[in-house]
A and B are shown apart, each in its own frame.
Chain A
Amino acid sequence: NAGVTQTPKFRVLKTGQSMTLLCAQDMNHEYMYWYRQDPGMGLRLIHYSVGEGTTAKGEVPDGYNVSRLKKQNFLLGLESAAPSQTSVYFCASRKAGQLSYEQYFGPGTRLTVT
């Protein structure tokens, strides 16, 4: 099992450009999450999905869109990148059901917006 994978690993964008980050999981998990990690801020939830075809906003959703067309994939889109979106982005997934289920994280995507 590959677990949770993210592509790309690194990306540099110019202000105003767009891009899509792909997250894929092979554990048949229902829930998927997108976080951003900034120095001194911990992880902040951007968007999440509790199942195929459903998405919802997290703590910091502005400037991002998501889609979950297939259960195993969760896409994060930046329509018009801004320097404030320079960050490391992590995807995570977990089983539905008990609140005690742990989250499994991908290796991250380091994004720089110039």
Chain B
Amino acid sequence: SQQGEEDPQALSIQEGENATMNCSYKTSINNLQWYRQNSGRGLVHLILIRSNEREKHSGRLRVTLDTSKKSSSLLITASRAADTASYFCATVVSGGYQKVTFGTGTKLQVIP
């Protein structure tokens, strides 16, 4: 079963607005990562938050993590048309190897 479930599945906003997408997971994690996928391309790493962190910033990205609720959110501020893409959370658990499980993704459309 999927470790990460994202919500909403799709999101459409106007340029300049903020976009928030959420990720819920089921088991304890070492860290959680967010990736972006432009149409027809591979995934690109955006930001990582460790299990002992609550909030992380990188440019226009803000990630929060609530381990008690097993959830994370990604906020993109002042969105641009170039932010149009699918966004995936990936949970990383400790084990014999880096067990990474990707969520089903949120498809973001930013309308110019």
Contacts and interface: CB of A to CB of B under 8 A. Distances in A.
B42 A100 contact: no
A92 B90 CA distance: 14
A2 B71 CA distance: 35
B42 A108 contact: yes
Interface in B34-63: 40-45, 48, 50
B97 A100 contact: no
A103 B100 contact: yes
A4 interface: yes
Given A94-B98, A108-B40, A108-B42, 9 more contacts: A40-B104, A41-B104, A42-B88, A42-B104, A42-B105, A44-B102, A92-B43, A102-B33, A105-B43
A107 B33 contact: no
Contacts of B90: 103
Interface of B: 2, 4, 30-31, 33, 40-45, 48, 50, 88, 90, 92, 94, 97-98, 100-105
Contacts, number: 57
Contacts of A103: 43, 45, 90, 100
A13 interface: no
Contact of B2 (A35, A42, A102): A42
A34 interface: no
Contact of A42 (B40, B98, B103): B103
B50 A100 contact: yes
B53 to A, nearest CB: 11
A100 B2 contact: no
Contact of A99 (B2, B88, B92, B104): B92
B43 A48 contact: no
Interface in A74-92: 90, 92
Contacts of A100: 30-31, 48, 50, 92
A27 to B, nearest CB: 13
A15 B45 CA distance: 35
Best-surrounded residue of B43, B90, B101, B105 (most CB of chain A within 10 A): B43
A43 B94 CA distance: 19
